[in-house]
Structure 1
Amino acid sequence: MAYFHLKLVPPRPSFPHDATPEEMTAMQAHGAYWHGHAETGVAIAVGPVFSEGGAFGIAVVEAADAAAAQALGDNDPVIKAALGFRFETSPMPSIILRRSAAGAAAAV
């Protein structure tokens, strides 16, 4: 298994502040989709980032390869809704994870 960073690029820099009802519906399905992947352990971290240049989303995932990571993005309901969102997928050659319940930091 390998780790990947997925960046969800919204359709415009002003998103989500001017989101349409259709976009908000797609984003609700997007949240449910990634919540499910977090529960199964595929998604390590998922969430919005509000930067000075505009908001975007991130997901750090564990997948067999780049194609599997890209498939996670391609199957996101917000992408399937064809509203102008897109994912940028990048490999992460290593990752440091926070301490587990056992107390040891994991690095792979």
Structure 2
Amino acid sequence: MSWFLYRLLPPRPDFATTMDERERAAMAEHVEYWRGLLEAGRTIFFGPVADPAGPWGLGIVNGGSLDDAAALGEADPAVVAGVARFEVLPMLSAVTR
């Protein structure tokens, strides 16, 4: 099993404070989706990052391959709804418990 950084990229820097109802609904589904991944052991944590340039989402996921980890992003409700895009980057190494 390999570790990957998942980065959810919102459509605009002020997204967290200017979401419309459709975006808010997609993000609520996004959070539930990632809670399910957490419960299934596919991620060890996830959440928003307070980047001064604008918040974005972070998850550390495990998978058998980059394609396996990217499939999690392709199924993310925020991505499916067109509310956000994502990047998946492989970790060169990871120290875990």
The verdict on a shared fold, with TM-score over 0.5 as the criterion, is yes
TM-score w.r.t. length of structure 1: 0.87
The answer for the alignment partner of 1:101 in structure 2 is none
CA RMSD of aligned residues (A): 0.8
Secondary structure of 1:17's counterpart equals helix
**Does structure 2 conserve the Cα–Cα contact (< 8 Å) formed by 1:4 and 1:90?**
yes
Other-structure match for 2:55: 55
Stretches of 4+ aligned residues off by more than 3 angstroms: none
| Greater per-residue helix proportion | 2
Q: Does the CA contact (< 8 Å) of 1:38 and 1:45 recur in 2?
A: yes
Q: Match of 2:50, SS?
A: strand
Instruction: Among all aligned residue pairs of Structure 1 and Structure 2, give the percentage whose two residues are the same amino acid.
Output: 38
Q: How many residues align?
A: 97
Is 1:69 the counterpart of 2:96? The answer is no
Q: Normalized per residue, which structure has more strand?
A: 1
CA distance in 1, matches of 2:79, 2:51: 22
Which residue does 1:92 correspond to in 2? Answer: 91
What is the correspondence of 1:1-108 to structure 2 with a 5 Å cutoff? 1-83=1-83, 85-97=84-96, 106=97
Q: Which has the higher contact order (CA 8 A, sep 6+)?
A: 2
Rounded to whole Å, the distance in 2 between the matches of 1:54 and 1:96 is 28
CA distance in 1, matches of 2:80, 2:89: 20
Give structure 1 stretches of 5+ with no counterpart: 98-105
Which residue in the other structure is 1:103 paired with?
none
